[in-house]
Amino acid sequence: MKRSVVLMHLERGGSVGPSYWRNLKPAAFKAFVDEIFQHYRQEGYPFYQYNSRTKQNLFSKLAQLHVEGLIRDNVIHQNFCAQGLAWSYFPHALMVQARTSFHSVNETFSDDELFRKALGNILAMLEKSKSTFSHRTFASMMKMARGTQGVSNFRPSAAKALYQRYAQDKVVWDMSCGFGGRLLGAMSAPVKKYIGTDPATLTMKGLLQMKAELGGYSPAVIELNKVGSEEFVPAEPVDFCFTSPPYFDIEKYSNEPTQSYVKFPNMESWLNVFVRKTAENCFKCLRRDGILVFNVSEALAQPFVKVCRDVGFKEIERLQLRLSGMPGAGKKAGVYKDSTFKHEPVLIFKKR
């Protein structure tokens, strides 16, 4: 198949705007979609792949990033510095199911019919938002194409902003490490020591690789433990406990028996055992006036506040983490969002 000028432009790292495909006749538009389809079938999914020098450069940019202005008006604003670097250590994230009724990114990409529909949907969303199509936007928007839901990652820049605000040169415990965003933020802030826990085998493999390749560029001491937060208490006093925990079974990172949604298969037991025990372990290890931070969904905010209050914490502040929303998304009653973005609460507690 002869490649078009547009596709050759994409292959060189460029982009194409909706002005190109908006007025194509149905047959020409179908051919355009098919050309993109065939390209990705041949080249594979454009996952984040960097050599060691590029990884060092990306980490250096994060280390040099000034994040003081990211938190303003009680909102943690967006900056995607080193986001791709974090993802690069966790290719298995494409296979993780987010929400039972949705396909994973890998499931959609691997199925010809679903993938073609996803491409058409992505182009429609980009046209609506007047955004361009590129390998980067494709990889990002595949997570939200119709019928598909990808997993999320805490932005390293947002983590760095919170560390610098509450835990500069202090000991922190990330109770559910996830896909490395908070670890990168801690290494770049820097904190004195980052203690991380996560029970997922493939996730821990990526975290250990991140530590091995980038830990030497940070003064932070890094300790990683393959265990759930409900079963772990740091062996030393901690100043700052901070994580974005699993939202019960919304994102099923693995099917291992150590996963919290497997151990506690209903919301009541998950909150009353996993979340409560995690909060209790934080209370045990935190110094006097230590800070506990949970980034959770809007639906989980009040249950988490109740658990933390019962354990002995006092909520002292609440921020809103700005997320990427669907292009053209509108307002939803009871949820902090505007026409473009949605937000999640960041709950901040102190020991009473």
Q: How confident is the model over 45-69, as pLDDT tens digits?
A: 999 999 999 999 999 999 999 999 9
Nearest-angstrom CA–CA distance, 292 and 315:
9
CATH topology for 156-351 is Rossmann fold (3.40.50)
Q: Is the preceding peptide bond at 303 cis, omega within 30 degrees of 0? A: no
Contact in structure between 96 and 253 (CB atoms under 8 Å): yes
Would you say the C-alpha torsion 188, 298, 100, 146 has a positive or negative sign? Answer: negative
pLDDT band of 215, cuts 50, 70, 90: very high
Band (335; pLDDT cuts 50, 70, 90):
very low
Q: What is the pLDDT of residue 325?
A: 61
**Residues of the chain above pLDDT 70, percent:** 94
Amino acid at position 281, single letter? N
Identify the pLDDT of residue 257: 97
Residue carrying the six token digits 């996963």: 259
The pLDDT score that the predictor gives to residue 99 is 81
Whose tokens are 């900056």? That residue is 79
Residue 341 has pLDDT above 90, yes or no: no
**Nearest to 314, CA basis, from 351, 262, 270, 264:** 351
Position with higher pLDDT, 300 vs 100: 300
Alpha helices in 189-314 (DSSP H): 201-214, 260-263, 267-269, 276-285, 298-311
DSSP reduced 3-state for 316:
strand
Helices in 65-188 by DSSP H: which ranges? 83-87, 105-110, 112-129, 135-141, 156-166, 181-188
> Percentage of the chain with pLDDT > 90?
83
Give pLDDT, residue 332: 44
Compute the average pLDDT of residues 263-274: 97
Structure tokens at 309: 């209050």
Residue 330 has pLDDT above 60, yes or no: no
Burial class from Cβ neighbours inside 10 Å (0-12, 13-18, 19+) for residue 279 reads buried
Of 61-65, 287-291, 337-341, the least confident: 337-341
- The whole-number average pLDDT for the span 125-137 is 91
Please state the rounded mean pLDDT for residues 328-343. 52
The band of 347, judged by pLDDT with boundaries at 50, 70 and 90, is very high
Report helix, strand or coil for 91: helix
Sequence-separated (6 or more) residues with CB below 8 Å from residue 255: 262
Residue 29 reports pLDDT greater than 60:
yes
Q: What is the mean pLDDT of residues 132-146?
A: 90
Q: How confident is the model at residue 10 (pLDDT cuts 50, 70, 90)?
A: confident
Return the domain boundaries, the chain.
5-44+98-144, 156-351
pLDDT at 336 over 80: no
pLDDT > 80? residue 77: yes
